[in-house]
Copies of this chain bind each other. A is one copy, B any other.
Amino acid sequence: MNKINVGIVGATGYVGMELVRILCNHPVFNITRLVSQSYIGKKFSSVYPSFRGIVDMECSERNIDDIAKNCEFVITALPHGVSAALIPALLLKGIRVLDHSADFRYRDVSVYEKAYKLSHPSPDLCADAIYGLPEIYRNSIYNAPLVANPGCYPTCSILGIAPLLSGNFIHKDSIIIDATSGVSGAGRTTDLAFQFCEAESNFKAYGVVGHRHTSEIEQELSFLAGEQLAVSFTPHLAPMKRGMLATIYSKLKTQMSAFELHQEYENFYKDEFFVRVLPLGEYPETKNVCGTNFIDISVFVDEHTGRAIALSAIDNLGKGASLQAIQTLNCMAGIPENSGLRQVAGIS
């Protein structure tokens, strides 16, 4: 099979690095450009020595012509706002783009601009960009020129609660999402708060009320519910590099057993390779999905309060970022969605 050329723009952040880690052994894609403004001319393996002998390619500059000449697909892993300024030029060259920033995740540009406190550089493209959650939008992704990779918390939350909303089992104003992420969610930063001595053995909430992923979650849950809804979303930081768990509370409209809800979940996801609805009564654990594109989901019913409690676990850099991007890229390229993505979590 002919290899398909792909470039990564923003290759030396954690999301970029994780893309390279999977793509360098992918059966179909071939990395042809690693763009990194901070490391132009430097070997990728000098930035990340774990790649020595496997990916010694030099990082190149953000040159549209050069990228266009060498790539059919481009994944952009850039800060919010920077992506939106670059992508129109790539699309004009006929490149199909998967963008990891939040820039093209929103149907309503004003919601984006409020959440990210930015003026959108390319608002016209937003309407046609597809939200890159293959389990929901697969059919639109196949031929899309521009796909927006979802955020980590939204991926974990949306897939965790989708069967409840889709089946109309819950009160739509009752949703509370309590979620926890590993530290890599903050990216390759040097902030004091993410130093080893500050973050290790510590647990805290942050961004209570108004975390920007709230609006992204609400957009997609409203779409699933068929009406506008609002959620309470609270992110937490746990002392681990990777992994994310969402614990999602909602009020059941009518009495249902855990067994019935579990069957609804199994049925909803029965054709999804990457969504694993666990046996009734088992718990997702982040260690079981780390380094992979799986999402593990459980559902419980608290009969004495009438609530459903859904639990979903992903790797924030896996299904929450880079590996989901590759699942979507597989989808865009018309190859099996799990190509190059059959990794299993070990002891890590």
The answer on a CB contact under 8 Å between B234 and A201 is no
> Taking the complex as formed, is A1 at the interface, i.e. its CB lies under 8 A from any CB of chain B?
no
Given A196-B196, A247-B236, do A311 and B14 touch, yes or no (CB 8 Å)?
no
Which residues from chain B contact A176 at a C-beta distance below 8 Å? Answer: 176, 249, 307
Contacts of A184 in B (CB 8 A): 197, 347
Contact flags (1/0) for A253-274 with B, using CB distance below 8 Å?
A: 0000000000000000000010
A241 and B55 in contact, given A18-B346, A203-B180, A305-B231 (Cβ under 8 angstroms): no
Query: Contact check: which of B203, B230, B287 meets A285 at CB < 8 Å?
Result: B203
Mask: chain A, 273-289; 1 = CB below 8 Å from B; 0 = not: 10010100011111111
Give, as a whole number of angstroms, the nearest-CB distance from A185 to chain B. 10
Residue A117 is within 8 A (CB to CB) of chain B in the complex:
no
12 contacts between A and B (CB under 8 A): A49-B278, A49-B288, A50-B287, A50-B288, A52-B296, A183-B200, A190-B190, A196-B239, A202-B240, A234-B309, A291-B346, A317-B347
Q: Which residues of A contact B (CB under 8 A)?
A: 14, 17-18, 21, 24-25, 49-55, 173, 176, 178, 180, 182-184, 188-192, 194-206, 208-209, 230-232, 234, 236, 238-243, 245, 247, 249, 273, 276, 278, 282-292, 294, 296, 300-305, 307, 309, 311, 313, 317, 342-348
